Structure 1
């Protein structure tokens, strides 16, 4: 079979010849089994057939693709492939296209994708460049609430011509969450706070953040009720004023203010500290990752840490 026997979209055909790389064309099948218009944060994108080569520019998109058994050809893995293994609980074969903050467009184009999934906050400025490479949909991952992330799973599945798979994955997930929530004792009134500890301050996650909205879905009360997902640069005075009853501190390796504040008298007067309800958690799982299985992990970890329940 010659490269001219391989079915390509018009966009891929143009990219191929403009790049002068005919001899190195991968075998891309893009069956034209109908067109659909996908609504996203920057408008609409028309997609034909079932895309086979997907590039995902945020972790939540990778997890959404995994929920419908799709492995992306390219991922912005922040040049840390171990994060993708942790995100999915397994190794997958893909090409790194740089960081989520600054995707490498040359690497994206070299993968000849037929669909790109981008984040509204990080990638709106390069939407036109991405769209020149392949059909692109833009979703809210970076500041996406739990409900937004759930709806994105169905949108991504629809873009791939697999909407029913997305709806089934969501239904399965919601059944799991319902079972986990049933284990929480009735009458829980304590206020829960997730904070990301940095070297000189903390970032406090509100009810609008992904983790904060998972708390709400579990029937728990976020300590900060705000339309802003994250309150950055918080000092100890702010934390004391919030006075959470259950305090989850997300950390990476290395020293943070959490280590410093442990010996501070004001910190030790916080309700969560006084009752032994302060827990260190993994920053990737509670802050960087977002998705259906991440929400399930958060629920399970809260059950284990706060309620000693499996």
Structure 2
């Protein structure tokens, strides 16, 4: 088992740039400032052109805000020890108020912060849209995860940071091309088959397919994927029991654990003969990675760090 080190650099960091109640302002910005209308999955929303008090209700929205140089006044917490995902820079998180669990944010806590913008997605909080929109203009994307690049552009428009977003995406593209070149070019990158495996407490083992955050990064770099990643109909993940972990076979395997490792079955599987018999494991090309970063992060700040770890861990 090889744990990633954070010392290898791949280009410059992506981090770009350095009173309301539930019956209050409704889904429109405060009077007196400039604003614009956004077309969202929930309909047209008028937002302040440069919001200053932003509340984010999921990890992708927090990554977007931090990446664009916006420090939210409030955010929901995850199961990370710190409340917020550990890969995010601590100085950028200082002063952000916790407004409850990601799947059950406290509406009173959100309202108490007097936000002028709320960012989230329909898949997470569509059922709360009516209540949230009474607190502040609420911009929702349809989903999270796989469409993270498109969602980032929505977040940038809502935050009034479109030019900053253009610089972020250009920098990411440069880093991707640099990594592909370091691997020997597109043909050699495509010939290298990579799998991502996640041990999940209370569920089967997941072999990540193509319709998710981490898979988009692998695709951007041009890395090959084994045939198993096209097994599930939804394209998100193919679930296997520990007795079928041999299906994770690839030239390189990255694995992460969500929840308690013991309850997720990671130690037992990693100590088993099927895992140890995989060619990637025998060759020292199976690497333990941070679940918060590789799976939960969902944004350009996370993607930047994943690229740096890929640069260190992939064979050249």
Q: Mean alpha-carbon deviation: is it higher for 118-127 or for 83-92?
A: 83-92
Q: Mean alpha-carbon deviation: is it higher for 273-282 or for 81-90?
A: 81-90
SS at 1:182 equivalent = helix
Q: Is residue 2:44 matched to residue 1:44?
A: yes
Aligned length: 285
SS at 2:115 equivalent = coil
Cα distance in 1 for residues equivalent to 2:197 and 2:79: 25
Aligned residue number for residue 20 of structure 1: none
Deviations 1:27-86 (A, max 9, x none): x987522x3222333333122432211100111211211222111010012375725373
User: Residues 1-310 of structure 1 correspond to what in structure 2 (within 5 A)?
Assistant: 12=20, 15=23, 31-33=32-34, 35-78=35-78, 80=80, 82=82, 84=84, 86-91=86-91, 92-140=94-142, 142=144, 144-145=145-146, 148-186=147-185, 187-188=188-189, 189-199=191-201, 201-223=204-226, 224-225=229-230, 228=234, 230-231=236-237, 233-251=239-257, 254-255=261-262, 256-307=264-315
Greater RCO, 1 or 2 (C-alpha within 8 Å, sep 6+): 2
Q: Mean alpha-carbon deviation: is it higher for 287-296 or for 242-251?
A: 242-251
CA contact (8 A) 2:49 2:158 kept: no
CA contact (8 A) 1:79 1:98 kept: no
Cα distance in 2 for residues equivalent to 1:89 and 1:274: 35
Change (3 A) 1:81 1:46: farther
CA contact (8 A) 2:30 2:116 kept: no
Unaligned runs of 5+ in 1: 1-7, 18-27
Give the TM-score of the pair, scaled to structure 2: 0.80
Q: Mean alpha-carbon deviation: is it higher for 111-120 or for 46-55?
A: 46-55
> Rg larger in 1 or in 2?
1
CA contact (8 A) 2:48 2:116 kept: no
Cα distance in 2 for residues equivalent to 1:227 and 1:72: 37
CA contact (8 A) 1:199 1:257 kept: yes
Q: CA RMSD in A?
A: 2.8
CA contact (8 A) 2:78 2:85 kept: no
SS at 1:88 equivalent = coil
Unaligned runs of 5+ in 2: 1-18
SS at 2:77 equivalent = coil
Give the TM-score of the pair, scaled to structure 1: 0.81
Change (3 A) 1:103 1:138: same
